[in-house]
Chains A and B, each alone.
Chain A
C-alpha cells in the first residue's frame, strides 16, 4: 500500500489561536478518509495548509513522498491535488463547460503565442479538452447543461459541477469540503454513491470534510476527528462512534461524562 498523503505535526497559528495543532495523518492511496469535528475545529484550515493557501508554521505535508510545504496553490494542483469548497465557488459568469475547461488548465500546455497562431497542436489539444469536458459533464450527470451559466444551475448541479471542475485537473487526491451541505436526504444519498464511484471508477483517493454523519459513517474507511485544531481520535467509523472524547467534543463535557456517570453531571 502506498501512502497518498501524510502530514507530520502540521501546525498553523493565527495570532494566538492555534487553528491546526500538531496534526499527524496518514492517508492510504485509494482510501476514502474523512475529517470531522465541530464547527471551528480547524478542518478547512487543515485543507488550506495542504493545498498551499496557507503556509503551515510547523510540520510537513508529504504527497506520495514529496513535500508540499512552500508550494503555491497552482503548484499543488499541478502535483495532483484538487479540491472543492464549503460554500460553492464556481466561476459564476462562465458556462459549465468553461468551468470544467478552466479546471483542465493545469493539464493543457498552449501558450499565448500558440493560441494566437492556432498551431495544429493547440487545435488538437483544445478539441480533446472540450471532449474531455463533455465526458466529465456526462460523468457527473450534467449532460445537456454545459452551455448554461454556472450561476443559473440548480444547487445540486452546482455542487456536482464543482466536483467535475476539480476532477478536470486529473487529481490523484481529491479534497471535498462538505459536499452534501444544504442537500436534502435524497440528494445526499446520491452524492454518497457518487463519491464512492469517484474512488471505485476513477481510482482517486478522497479526503472528505463532512458534517452529515450518515455520509461520513456510510462511506469512510478511516475517520480523523479534530477539535480545537488538534486530532483527538482516529479510527474506523465504528471506533469513532464509540469514542467518548469524540462525543465530548460534539456534545460538551457534560454529555460525555454523563455516559459514565449521570450523577456527576447534574452536580
Chain B
C-alpha cells in the first residue's frame, strides 16, 4: 500500500518533469497551435478571458494530466486487491504532485517575467508571450493555482477512467485487439472470396497498382519528391530486410552500399570531377554491381563475427566510406566535401527525365522489381536457409547450410539493392555528397525495418511510409517533429512490438483457407 503511494509520487514527479521540459522547449505553445489547426479554432468560446490558444494548451496539458493520473493509479505488481479507493487515491497523489510541480513552474516563470527578467535570454523558447500563455494571462499566483487545480482534476479523472475501463494489461490487449481486427478484416467474406480466386486476386492487385501509378499525377512537385524519397527508402529497407530480417545479420553500416551506388552513378555520369558523362542506363548496373562486390569484400572477413561485433564493425565501415568520400586525399576523385553536382539523369526513348514525376515512376518500377526478387528469394531454398541461420546458426550448419556462403550471398544481395537505391537517388537529386550518407541513414533504415515488421515485404513498405512519410506530414510541428516522431515510435513499439505488420508464415501444408482445413487434413493425399 505504502509502496504504491510512493510510486504514485514518483509518477507525479516524472510527469511534472516531462511537462516542465515540454514548456521549457516551447512545445506547449506549438501543440496549442497545432490543436488550434486541427479544431480550426472552434474548440469552445473563450471562457472567462481565456483565448483559443490557452484553451488548446489546456487541452494538451489535460491529456498529459489524464495520463499521469492513470499511470499513478496503477496497483503494484504484487498487490492482489485493486480497489477503487486505492486506485483513485494513487491517481490523486500523482496528479497532485504533477500539478504542484507545474504550478510551481508557472509561479516561477510568471514572477520572473513580471519582475522584468527576460527568461528567453537563457532559454530561447521561453518568450514573454509563452509565459503569458502559460499563466493564462493572469497573475502568476492565479495561473499557478489554476494549473494545480486543473492538473489535479484531470489526473483524478484519469485515475478513475483507467480503473473503470479495466486497464489490466491494456497494452497486451491493445496488441491482441489490433491483431484481431486485422484478422477479422482479412477474413471478411469479400476478402476470402478474392483470395480464393486467382483471377480476382490479380485484378485487385492490378487495380491497386493502377491507383498507385495514378497517384503521382495528382500529387504536386513537393509530394512527388517525398514519394520518391519514400520509394528509395523502401528499396533500402527491402535490401536490409534480407540482411537483418531474414539472415539475422545486424548491419549498421548499410549506408555504405547506398553511397557506393550513388557515387558510382555520380562519378560516371557527371561532368565533374571526371567528365565521363556516361549514360544512366550503363552507370546503373555498374553501381549495383560495385555495391554487391563491396558487400562481398566487406563480408568475407567481417561475417565471421556475430551479433554485436558485426554491428560495430559494419558501423565503422559505413563511417569509413563517408569519411573517405570527403577526404582531402580523394578530393580529385570523389569531389570531396563539396560533393558531385549535375549528375546525369536517365533518358527513355530519347526523352530525358526532368520532373520528379518521371523519377517517381522509375522508383516504382525499381521497387516492384525488388519486391518480385525478394519474394522469389524468400520463398526458396535460399530464403529458408537465411531464416534458419537467423533462428539457430549452429543447427543450420548441421542441416547442410554453408553459413558463410549464405551470409555473403545475403550481404551482397542486400548491398546490390542499396546500390540500386543510391544510384537512382543520386540521379534524381542531380547531386550527391558526403552529407547524404550520414549514420542517420543507416539507423533510419534499420528502424524502418524494425518498426514495419522484420522479415516481410508489406512491413518494410509500411515502415518506410511511417518513418520517411510521417515526418513530412508532421512538418507543421517544425523543430519538434523529431520529438513527436520519437514519441510516436515509442508508442508504436509498445503497442505493436512485432512491428506494424508482423511477419506471418506462409501456409504450405494446407494451402486453402481455414474453413476447409478440416477436410483437407483428412483428404490431403488425394
Check if A93 is an interface residue, CB within 8 A of chain B: yes
> Nearest chain-B residue to A118 (Cβ)?
B376
Q: Are A105 and B401 in contact (CB under 8 A)?
A: yes
Check if A45 is an interface residue, CB within 8 A of chain B: no
Q: Are B399 and A112 in contact (CB under 8 A)?
A: no
Write out the residue numbers on chain A whose beta carbons fall within 8 Å of the beta carbon of B524: 134, 143-144
Q: Are B382 and A97 in contact (CB under 8 A)?
A: no
Q: Are A112 and B391 in contact (CB under 8 A)?
A: no
Q: Are A130 and B508 in contact (CB under 8 A)?
A: yes
> Nearest chain-B residue to A169 (Cβ)?
B400
Check if A20 is an interface residue, CB within 8 A of chain B: no
Write out the residue numbers on chain B whose beta carbons fall within 8 Å of the beta carbon of A85: 395
Q: Are A73 and B510 in contact (CB under 8 A)?
A: no
CB contact under 8 A between A146 and B508, given known A83-B398, A112-B409, A165-B399: yes
Check if B473 is an interface residue, CB within 8 A of chain A: no
Query: Which residues 377-423 in B have Cβ within 8 Å of A in the complex?
Result: 377, 380-385, 387-388, 391-392, 394-403, 409, 413
Q: Are A110 and B388 in contact (CB under 8 A)?
A: no
Q: Which residue in A101, A106, A114 is a CB contact (below 8 Å) of B400?
A: A106
Q: Are B384 and A143 in contact (CB under 8 A)?
A: no
Query: Which residues 159-214 in A have Cβ within 8 Å of B in the complex?
Result: 165, 169
Write out the residue numbers on chain B whose beta carbons fall within 8 Å of the beta carbon of A129: 381
For the complex formed, measure the closest distance between the CB of B357 and the CB atoms of chain A, giving whole angstroms.
29
Q: Are A147 and B399 in contact (CB under 8 A)?
A: no
For the complex formed, measure the closest distance between the CB of A53 and the CB atoms of chain B, giving whole angstroms.
7
Check if B521 is an interface residue, CB within 8 A of chain A: yes
Q: Are A102 and B505 in contact (CB under 8 A)?
A: no
Query: Which residues 40-86 in B have Cβ within 8 Å of A in the complex?
Result: none
Check if B509 is an interface residue, CB within 8 A of chain A: yes
Q: Which residue in B376, B380, B394, B509 is a CB contact (below 8 Å) of A146?
A: B509
Cα A92 to Cα B395 with chains together (Å): 12
Q: How many residues of A contact B (CB 8 A)?
A: 49
Check if A77 is an interface residue, CB within 8 A of chain B: yes
Q: Are B395 and A72 in contact (CB under 8 A)?
A: no
Q: How many residues of B contact A (CB 8 A)?
A: 34
> Nearest chain-B residue to A99 (Cβ)?
B388
Cα A72 to Cα B405 with chains together (Å): 13
Cα A89 to Cα B399 with chains together (Å): 12
Query: Which residues 119-165 in A have Cβ within 8 Å of B in the complex?
Result: 122, 126, 129-130, 133-134, 137-138, 143-147, 149, 165
Q: Which residue in B380, B397, B402, B505 is a CB contact (below 8 Å) of A115?
A: B380
Q: Are B381 and A105 in contact (CB under 8 A)?
A: yes
Check if A111 is an interface residue, CB within 8 A of chain B: yes
For the complex formed, measure the closest distance between the CB of A239 and the CB atoms of chain B, giving whole angstroms.
33
Check if B507 is an interface residue, CB within 8 A of chain A: yes
Q: Are A134 and B509 in contact (CB under 8 A)?
A: yes
Check if B373 is an interface residue, CB within 8 A of chain A: yes
Cα A92 to Cα B388 with chains together (Å): 9
Q: Are A98 and B385 in contact (CB under 8 A)?
A: no
Check if A57 is an interface residue, CB within 8 A of chain B: no
Q: Are B395 and A91 in contact (CB under 8 A)?
A: yes
> Nearest chain-A residue to B392 (Cβ)?
A89
Write out the residue numbers on chain B whose beta carbons fall within 8 Å of the beta carbon of A222: none
Cα A98 to Cα B386 with chains together (Å): 12
Write out the residue numbers on chain B whose beta carbons fall within 8 Å of the beta carbon of A169: 399-400
> Nearest chain-B residue to A98 (Cβ)?
B384
> Nearest chain-A residue to B507 (Cβ)?
A147
Q: Are A115 and B399 in contact (CB under 8 A)?
A: no
Q: Are B398 and A77 in contact (CB under 8 A)?
A: yes
Write out the residue numbers on chain B whose beta carbons fall within 8 Å of the beta carbon of A42: none
For the complex formed, measure the closest distance between the CB of B270 and the CB atoms of chain A, giving whole angstroms.
32
Residue of B373, B376, B385 with most partner-chain A CB within 10 A:
B376
Q: Are B391 and A115 in contact (CB under 8 A)?
A: no
Q: Which residue in A72, A108, A149 is a CB contact (below 8 Å) of B381?
A: A108
Check if A1 is an interface residue, CB within 8 A of chain B: no
For the complex formed, measure the closest distance between the CB of B510 and the CB atoms of chain A, giving whole angstroms.
6
Cα A41 to Cα B389 with chains together (Å): 30
> Nearest chain-A residue to B383 (Cβ)?
A115
Q: Are B380 and A91 in contact (CB under 8 A)?
A: no
Check if A64 is an interface residue, CB within 8 A of chain B: no
For the complex formed, measure the closest distance between the CB of A87 and the CB atoms of chain B, giving whole angstroms.
11
CB contact under 8 A between A102 and B399, given known A53-B394, A110-B381, A111-B382: yes
For the complex formed, measure the closest distance between the CB of A139 and the CB atoms of chain B, giving whole angstroms.
12
Q: Are B397 and A73 in contact (CB under 8 A)?
A: yes
Q: Are A102 and B384 in contact (CB under 8 A)?
A: yes
Cα A108 to Cα B380 with chains together (Å): 10
Cα A82 to Cα B505 with chains together (Å): 26
Proximity bits, B488-516, A CB within 8 Å = 1, else 0? 00000000000000000111111000000
Write out the residue numbers on chain B whose beta carbons fall within 8 Å of the beta carbon of A82: 398
CB contact under 8 A between A72 and B508, given known A102-B384, A110-B381, A112-B413: no
Write out the residue numbers on chain B whose beta carbons fall within 8 Å of the beta carbon of A106: 399-400
Check if A74 is an interface residue, CB within 8 A of chain B: yes
Q: Are B397 and A74 in contact (CB under 8 A)?
A: yes
Q: Which residue in B391, B506, B507 is a CB contact (below 8 Å) of A93?
A: B391
Q: Which residue in A95, A110, A147 is a CB contact (below 8 Å) of B382?
A: A110
Q: Are A98 and B413 in contact (CB under 8 A)?
A: no
18 sample A-B contacts, Cβ–Cβ < 8 Å, listed by A number: A74-B400, A78-B400, A91-B388, A91-B395, A91-B396, A95-B506, A95-B508, A96-B509, A97-B508, A98-B508, A105-B399, A106-B400, A108-B381, A114-B380, A134-B509, A144-B521, A146-B508, A169-B400
Given contacts A83-B398, A98-B384, A115-B377, 11 further A-B contacts (CB under 8 A): A78-B400, A91-B392, A98-B505, A105-B385, A106-B400, A110-B380, A112-B377, A133-B508, A134-B509, A146-B508, A147-B510
5 A-B pairs with the lowest CB-CB distances in the bound complex, closest first: A146-B509, A106-B400, A115-B380, A77-B400, A91-B391
